[in-house]
Amino acid sequence: MGYKDLRDFIHRLEKEGELKRIKIEVDPVLEVTEITDRVTRAGGPALLFERPKGSRVPLLINMLGSERRMNLALEVEQVGEVAERIRSFMDFQSPQGLFDKLRMLPKLAELGSFFPKTVSSGLCKEVIRKDHFSLLELPILQCWPKDGGRYITWPLVITKSPETGKRNVGVYRMQVFDERTTAMHWQTQKHGAEHFRRGRARDPQGRIEVAVAIGADPITCLAGVLPIPPDLDEMMFAGFLRREPVPMVPCETLDLEVPANAEIVLEGYVDLSELRTEGPFGDHTGFYSLEGDYPVFRVTCMTHRRDPIYLTTIVGPPPQEDFFMGHAIERIFLPVMKMQYPEIVDMAMPAEGIFHNLMIVAIRKSYPGHARKIMNAIWSLGQAMFTKVLVVVDHDVNVQNPREVVWKALCAIDPERDVQMVFGPVDTLDHAARMQDFGSKMGIDATRKWPSEGFHRPWPDEIVMDPETRARVDALWRELGLPAGK
């Protein structure tokens, strides 16, 4: 059974020694960041600031900022178990005969049982406020000194496609402009931005309804970050991950539903003809993302629990909490990638590569040009399109070990021959790209080169000691009186 809500998870964290309550007053302007940054780097606990300065609402941060807490959230010993569950569902993809079809039924029923469930009321409705409310009541962070203001950093932004009516949930930061107005930083390739464009194409002077949920059970919160295809409901995926449907409750003033267990809900709209300068913001690249024009979210109603808790996170020089989210997501979706591209053995996105800057993929190479084929595949696979540097290595390179990758990949390349440049969409946060959202990407084919690829020199063997000598030295080791070797 999944966690009921945010505080259910908080209690679990507390029981596991994974939460620290901060009872002294701390300023959400900069101070919370400085404390959290130090704690995350030290592998420390989630932090519940009970007295954020200027607000009566406690603030939770670093909730998923370690592998252990991520596993607790997913209710697994290790994230591989989730990948295994996904694989077991995918094995049933294309039933051949009647027997296969029958065997599939319980799986399908199980899948069906994860669909979000509409409920008529929820704790997020304990207090409903259409007048006399202000965002400034919340302990919204100013994360870094040169930030353009305060930012809601972990909102679940809920919209509906003006065309298909399908729901999208994305985490897009929201800069607070005043008591009831924020920016909406959905980057151009994200699904919220697509809903905005579809809406504008229909009626440039119109608006789209937007609901924002802040704080819920941890998987529902994580689901807003999942890089899944458009028109696939993140709340369905959340139900699958928590093995229990996400209860959704209709908004007070909008034709949208929000997680019933949310701590805080903002209802409002985005005017399709309005843009405003947003930024700068200390971002997960470790640099400030620049100012830019973004849509404006106008809040018309706020609902919340009687004693809400404000969930937030910070991004900044890696690694931060978002690294643990991204890493779990990478592991969860690896089987899906492998199903489509069975030659993929493993992949890694090191923290310093900030997800979009560096991906290392190991493949079992079967034909000439195979590494280039995988580059093209990854550059056309959802948000992996943003990958700026993509290194493809042979199956026997351990991509989880950066030292081995640097050693073997660099030994394997003739740069002029093995580097492939392409143009395409790049991450909005890439400040080195020649234009925002458009630029070049580099693929490095670091696999062994074959005669069928025009390489006719012999490829040398890797140096490995023979087992007999190793065994003899093992036997001698104590007598040698040397420190333990590897």
191/449 with CB nearer Mn ion: 191
Closest distance between ligand FMN and the C-beta of residue 395, in Å? 29
Enter the tokens of residue 236.
């369905």
Q: Which of residues 368-407 bind Mn ion (CB under 5 A)?
A: none
159 sits near Mn ion (criterion: CB under 5 A): no
CA dihedral angle for residue 324, residue 8, residue 2, residue 305, rounded to 10 degrees:
-100
Q: Which of the choices Mn ion, ligand FMN, none does residue 190 contact, using the CB cut-off of 5 to 8 A by kind?
A: ligand FMN
- Mark 375-413 as b/e (b = at least 16 C-beta within 10 Å): bebbbebeebbbbbebbbbbeebbbeebeebeebbeebb
Closest distance between ligand FMN and the C-beta of residue 429, in Å? 9
Residue 304 CA, distance from chain mean position: 25
Closest distance between ligand FMN and the C-beta of residue 233, in Å? 10
Closest distance between Mn ion and the C-beta of residue 425, in Å? 16
9/186 with CB nearer Mn ion: 186
CA dihedral angle for residue 211, residue 48, residue 187, residue 251, rounded to 10 degrees:
-10
60/446 with CB nearer ligand FMN: 60
168 sits near Mn ion (criterion: CB under 5 A): yes
Q: How many CB atoms lie within 10 A of CB 11?
A: 13
Identify whether 394 is a catalytic site residue. no
Q: Which of the choices ligand FMN, Mn ion, none does residue 322 contact, using the CB cut-off of 5 to 8 A by kind?
A: ligand FMN
221/345 with CB nearer ligand FMN: 221
Q: Which of the choices ligand FMN, Mn ion, none does residue 153 contact, using the CB cut-off of 5 to 8 A by kind?
A: ligand FMN
Closest distance between ligand FMN and the C-beta of residue 313, in Å? 5
Q: Which of the choices ligand FMN, Mn ion, none does residue 337 contact, using the CB cut-off of 5 to 8 A by kind?
A: none
122 by DSSP, 3-state: which? coil
Residues of this chain that interact with ligand FMN (CB under 6 A) are 153-154, 168, 170-173, 185-187, 190-192, 224-227, 313, 315, 322, 325, 383
Q: Which of the choices Mn ion, ligand FMN, none does residue 52 contact, using the CB cut-off of 5 to 8 A by kind?
A: none
Residue among 379, 412, 378 nearest 395 (CA) = 412
Q: How many residues does the chain have?
A: 486
Closest distance between ligand FMN and the C-beta of residue 193, in Å? 7
Looking only at the bridges linking them, the beta strands covering 174-178 and 288-289 are unpaired
Integer Rg of the chain from CA? 25
Single out the segment in contact with Mn ion by CB under 5 A; choices: 113-121, 125-133, 191-199, 267-275.
Answer: 191-199
Closest distance between Mn ion and the C-beta of residue 106, in Å? 28
Residues forming beta bridges with residue 443, ordered by sequence position: 390, 420
Binding mask 118-157 for Mn ion (x = CB under 5 A): ----------------------------------------
Single out the segment in contact with Mn ion by CB under 5 A; choices: 185-193, 211-219, 238-246, 289-297.
Answer: 185-193
187 sits near Mn ion (criterion: CB under 5 A): no
2/192 with CB nearer ligand FMN: 192
| Opening angle at CA 314, ends 20 and 265, nearest 5 | 85
Closest distance between ligand FMN and the C-beta of residue 387, in Å? 13
Q: Which of the choices ligand FMN, Mn ion, none does residue 227 contact, using the CB cut-off of 5 to 8 A by kind?
A: ligand FMN
Q: Which of 5, 217, 283, 322 is catalytic?
A: 283
161/253 with CB nearer ligand FMN: 161
CA dihedral angle for residue 275, residue 279, residue 284, residue 287, rounded to 10 degrees:
140
Residues forming beta bridges with residue 268, ordered by sequence position: 210, 299
192/215 with CB nearer ligand FMN: 192
Residues forming beta bridges with residue 259, ordered by sequence position: 248
Whether 82 and 332 have beta carbons less than 8 Å apart is answered as: yes
Complete DSSP assignment for 41-76: HTT--EEEESSBTT-SS-EEE-TT-SHHHHHHHHTS
Q: Distance of CA 29 to CAs 52, 90, 284, Å?
A: 9, 46, 18
What backbone phi and psi angles, to 5 degrees, belong to 92? -95, 15
d(CA 343, CA 366): 8
Q: Which of the choices ligand FMN, Mn ion, none does residue 138 contact, using the CB cut-off of 5 to 8 A by kind?
A: none
191/441 with CB nearer Mn ion: 191
191 sits near Mn ion (criterion: CB under 5 A): yes
d(CA 25, CA 31): 10
Kind and range of the H or E run holding 127? strand 127-129
E strand segments, 215-343: 247-250, 257-259, 264-278, 281-282, 288-289, 292-304, 310-311
Q: Which of the choices Mn ion, ligand FMN, none does residue 192 contact, using the CB cut-off of 5 to 8 A by kind?
A: ligand FMN
Which residues are identified as catalytic?
283
Q: Which residues bind Mn ion (CB under 5 A)?
A: 168, 191
